[in-house]
Structure 1
Amino acid sequence: MAPPPPVSGAAPSGQNSGQSPGQRPGQRNVLAAAASGITDFISACGGDAERVLTQAGVPEQCIGNPVLPLDLGNYCAMMELAADDTGNDNFGLWYGQQFRPQALGLIGEIALAAPTLGAALDNLASLFPFHQQATETRLTRDGDLWRLEYRILDSRIAERRQDAELTMGMFANVFRTCLGSDWTPEEVQFEHLRPGTAQDHSRAFGAPVHFGQRTNCLVVRDRGFDRRMPGGDLARLSRLRSDLKTLTGGTGTVPFLARVQSDIRSRLPEGYPHIDDVAATLGMARWTLQRRLADEGLSFSGAVDGVRRDLAALYLSQTHVPMSDIAYLLGYSELSAFSRAFRRWFGCAPTRARARE
Structure 2
Amino acid sequence: MSSFPPASGSAGQHHAGVLAAAATGLCGFIERHGGDPDRVLGVSGIDPELLQHPTLSLALPNYCQVLEEAARQSGCDNFGLYYGQQFKPQGLGLLGYIGLCSATVEQALINFSRAFPLHQRNSLIRLVDEGEYYRFDYQVRHGAILNRRQDAELTLGMALNLIRHVLGSQWAPRAVHFEHPRPEQWHEHCKVFDAPVYFEQPCNSLLIAKRGLNRAMPEHDPALLLVMQDSLRQLSLSKPREPDIVDDTRAQIRRQLLVGEPVLEDIAEQMGLTSWSLQRRLRDQGLSFSAVVDKLRCELATHYLAQQQLPISDLAPLLGYSETSAFSRAFRRWFGVSPRQWRSQGRGAF
Same fold (TM over 0.5): yes
- Name whichever of 114-123 and 281-290 sits farther off: 281-290
**Structure 2 residues not aligned, in runs of 5+:** 1-12
How much has 1:184 moved relative to structure 2? 1.3
Match of 1:53 in 2: 41
Match of 1:272 in 2: 261
Would you say the 8 A contact 1:76–1:163 is kept in 2? yes
CA distance in 1, matches of 2:97, 2:38: 28
Match of 1:7 in 2: none
Match of 2:343 in 1: 354
How much has 1:191 moved relative to structure 2? 2.1
How much has 1:72 moved relative to structure 2? 1.9
1:313 to 302, 327, 335: 302
CA distance in 1, matches of 2:44, 2:253: 27
Would you say the 8 A contact 2:20–2:51 is kept in 1? yes
Match of 1:106 in 2: 94
Match of 2:247 in 1: 258
Would you say the 8 A contact 2:15–2:118 is kept in 1? no
SS state of the match for residue 35, structure 2? Answer: coil
- Name whichever of 196-205 and 87-96 sits farther off: 196-205
SS state of the match for residue 142, structure 2? Answer: coil
1:117 to 105, 108, 123: 105
CA distance in 2, matches of 1:127, 1:211: 27
CA distance in 1, matches of 2:16, 2:188: 31
Match of 1:6 in 2: none
How much has 1:49 moved relative to structure 2? 1.7
Match of 1:231 in 2: 219
CA distance in 2, matches of 1:252, 1:183: 40
Match of 1:171 in 2: 159
SS state of the match for residue 188, structure 1? Answer: strand
How much has 1:192 moved relative to structure 2? 2.0
Would you say the 8 A contact 1:39–1:49 is kept in 2? yes
CA distance in 1, matches of 2:14, 2:105: 33
How much has 1:110 moved relative to structure 2? 0.5
Residues 294, 224 of structure 1: CA spacing in aligned structure 2 closer, same or farther, 3 A cutoff? farther
Would you say the 8 A contact 2:14–2:240 is kept in 1? no
Match of 1:9 in 2: none
How much has 1:266 moved relative to structure 2? 2.2
2:329 to 321, 330, 340: 340
Matches within 5 A, 1:137-148: 137-148=125-136
CA distance in 2, matches of 1:284, 1:222: 39
1:94 to 69, 82, 92: 82
Would you say the 8 A contact 2:29–2:83 is kept in 1? yes
Matches within 5 A, 1:291-306: 291-306=280-295
Residues 242, 268 of structure 1: CA spacing in aligned structure 2 closer, same or farther, 3 A cutoff? same
**Structure 1 residues not aligned, in runs of 5+:** 1-24
Matches within 5 A, 1:275-286: 275-286=264-275
CA distance in 1, matches of 2:264, 2:49: 45
Q: Per-residue displacement from partner, 1:196-236 (whole Å, max 9, x unpaired)?
A: 21121111111222222332221222333333222112211
Q: Per-residue displacement from partner, 1:313-345 (whole Å, max 9, x unpaired)?
A: 211121221011222211223222211221222
SS state of the match for residue 125, structure 2? Answer: strand
Match of 1:3 in 2: none
Aligned residues between the structures:
333
Would you say the 8 A contact 2:30–2:74 is kept in 1? yes
Residues 62, 349 of structure 1: CA spacing in aligned structure 2 closer, same or farther, 3 A cutoff? same
CA distance in 1, matches of 2:262, 2:132: 29
Q: Which amino acid aligns with 1:216?
A: N
Residues 26, 235 of structure 1: CA spacing in aligned structure 2 closer, same or farther, 3 A cutoff? closer
Percent of counterpart pairs with the same letter? 46
Would you say the 8 A contact 2:84–2:158 is kept in 1? yes
